[in-house]
Amino acid sequence: MKILVMNCGSSSLKYQLIDMTDERVMAKGLCERIGIEGSKIKHEGAEKYETEKPMPTHTEAIQLVIEALLDGKHGVIKSIDEVHAVGHRVVHGGEKFATSVIITDEVKAAVKECADLAPLHNPPNLIGIDVCEKLLPGKPQIGVFDTAFHQTMPEKAYLYALPYEYYEKYKVRRYGFHGTSHKYVSDRAASFLGKKIEDLKIITCHMGNGASVAAIKGGKVVDTSMGLTPLEGLVMGTRSGDMDPAIMQFVMGKEGLSIKEMENVLNKNSGVLGISGVSSDFRDIEGAAAEGNKRAKAALDVYYYRVAKYVGAYAAAMNGVDAVVFTAGLGENSAVARKEICSYLTYLGLEIDDEKNNVRGVEVNFAKDGSKVAALLIPTNEELVIARDTKDCLK
């Protein structure tokens, strides 16, 4: 069974074709600058190739993906009939979706309703679904939601201390994101430790461009750091994460910013980019800090400290922790970031081994022998979760 995984953003499209007999990635790629001058497809299949092609809309982009998969030279399939189903990443499922589902007209209507909560993400996700329905007629389409895994959170974790009617009228509550990643790495953590997930308290730290932490008790999320939107929680590449809500009004007054402009500052110009003034990419910031750039060093310190505070909070939320898991771009690649964060956690009984920590992108427990708490590096694989859920939905 071959499954096409689609992740449609507003101007980009990531895809993978996965053969589920052995979960092998047959092909993967990226269409960039959809709807903008200079759009490009990068494809890795039988061969790698990259070319600029006009993609005024997602229809042309998905058409190009299908052509790339079928191509005599760099393609990997002979006929589109070899694709059994399409699994779509959908960012916001609101309170409606606690699991992945086969997409129907009712599902599409529900995703549209949630677009209010994720205006940048849900509309392009829906366009991807519509275009795939047109270009791959008769193939089952499955929706896999970033929010679904977090739907087990209890009321005390998801309610904000605001007038209750905002929850009733507008569904203002914590939802959480990166659910597929938190699910994948927590499952892998249990297998890696040779224990049943039902018996474990795990804290997963997804540290990519976007970043979030989840507290997972017995395989179920009990709390997570992102909220109504992905803006809350950790410091991120360009997002502020937690802050005093009164800052918005204060800065808007001082700088004469509109709500839209302020929202843009918090999403695009804040985080480690905002503090350092160097970059949103941790490689650049680590480099600048090593050369003595004080703001870069401050950005890293604020970042590590925030992650550590969340781990402490979630150890309290679960009344203990068996494993802390690091994943995504920074979590998988930066031994320094893992070490600095773990330096705050020795009181929990988490002691790391610098030698074992000195790796990237492999599954490892880098805690010292005898450490009470495991420190795990687990590379994430959101596409594989989408493909597995798609396969399960077809049963």
Q: Note the residues at the interface with ligand ADP (CB under 6 A).
A: 208-210, 237, 281-283, 286, 328-330, 333-334
Closest to ligand ADP by CB, 60 or 232: 232
- The closest alpha carbon to 124, from 89, 93, 98, belongs to 89
For the CB of residue 181, give the shortest distance to ligand ADP in the complex, in Å.
9
For the CB of residue 127, give the shortest distance to ligand ADP in the complex, in Å.
20
CA distance 53 to 60: 9
Closest to ligand ADP by CB, 96 or 297: 297
For the CB of residue 92, give the shortest distance to ligand ADP in the complex, in Å.
17
Q: What is the DSSP letter of 79?
A: -
CA distance 348 to 143: 38
Closest to ligand ADP by CB, 94 or 329: 329
CA distance 203 to 185: 10
Closest to ligand ADP by CB, 158 or 282: 282
Closest to ligand ADP by CB, 185 or 348: 185
The active-site residue, picked from 116, 130, 146, 199, is 146
Handedness of CA 126, 132, 138, 143 (dihedral sign): negative
Contacts (Cβ under 8 Å, ≥6 apart) of 303: 234, 235, 272, 337
Is 116 catalytic? The answer is: no
Closest to ligand ADP by CB, 211 or 367: 211
- Whole-angstrom CA distances from 271 to 147, 256, 274, 276 are 22, 21, 5, 9
- The closest alpha carbon to 126, from 101, 90, 82, belongs to 90
CA distance 353 to 330: 19
CA distance 309 to 311: 5
For the CB of residue 208, give the shortest distance to ligand ADP in the complex, in Å.
3
Contacts (Cβ under 8 Å, ≥6 apart) of 93: 110, 111, 114, 143, 145, 146, 147, 148
For the CB of residue 378, give the shortest distance to ligand ADP in the complex, in Å.
13
For the CB of residue 280, give the shortest distance to ligand ADP in the complex, in Å.
6
CA distance 358 to 334: 9
For the CB of residue 278, give the shortest distance to ligand ADP in the complex, in Å.
11
CA distance 365 to 26: 30
| Residue indicated by tokens 């400290």 | 305
3-state secondary structure of 373: coil
Closest to ligand ADP by CB, 14 or 174: 14
Give the residue numbers annotated as catalytic, written as ranges.
Answer: 146
